[in-house]
Amino acid sequence: MSILHTVNKSPFERNSLESCLKFASQGASVLLMEDGVYAALAGSSAESQLKAGLGKVSIYVLGPDIKARGFHEDRLIAGIKVVDYAGFVDLAVDNDKVQAWL
């Protein structure tokens, strides 16, 4: 069963991403959205955690949420894929289920 995990909380405020990466299975997909997108920023204290995650799961970030918060793709950790809302729908369809880490 392939799962799309969604994380919408800041990694500096909650442990949603940490738990998600801990329990997600090898090869799963993780989409960072809303305040979860801050985890994708290069140079932050959450970078090592996310980079470790990239070795286990595919990590996506919702572009409109990055833009809303004043950032561009050049600030993101390499290896993270940016998707738009249509890409979000594709991820939801391509996986068997969606699991939210609130």
Partner 1 sequence: MSEVVKKFMYLNRRAPYGTIYAWESLEVVLIGAAFDQEVNLMFVDDGVFQLVKGQDTAGIGMKNFSPTYRTLGDYEVKNIFVDADSLAARGLTQDDLVAIAYEDMDTEEEIENIVEVVDAARVTELMDESDVVFSF
Q: Binding residues for partner 1, per CB under 8 A?
A: 8-10, 12-13, 34-35, 38, 41-45, 47, 63-65, 67-72, 75, 84
Cβ of 19: how many Cβ atoms within 10 Å? 13
Q: Which is nearer to partner 1, 18 or 47 (CB)?
A: 47
Within 8 A by CB and 6+ apart from 50, the residues are: 11, 17, 21, 39, 40, 59, 77, 80
Q: Which is nearer to partner 1, 28 or 61 (CB)?
A: 61
Q: Which is nearer to partner 1, 30 or 33 (CB)?
A: 33
- In angstroms, what is the minimal distance from the CB of 98 to partner 1? 19
- In angstroms, what is the minimal distance from the CB of 27 to partner 1? 28
- The CA-based dihedral angle spanning residues 30, 17, 38, 82, taken in that order and rounded to the nearest 10 degrees: -10
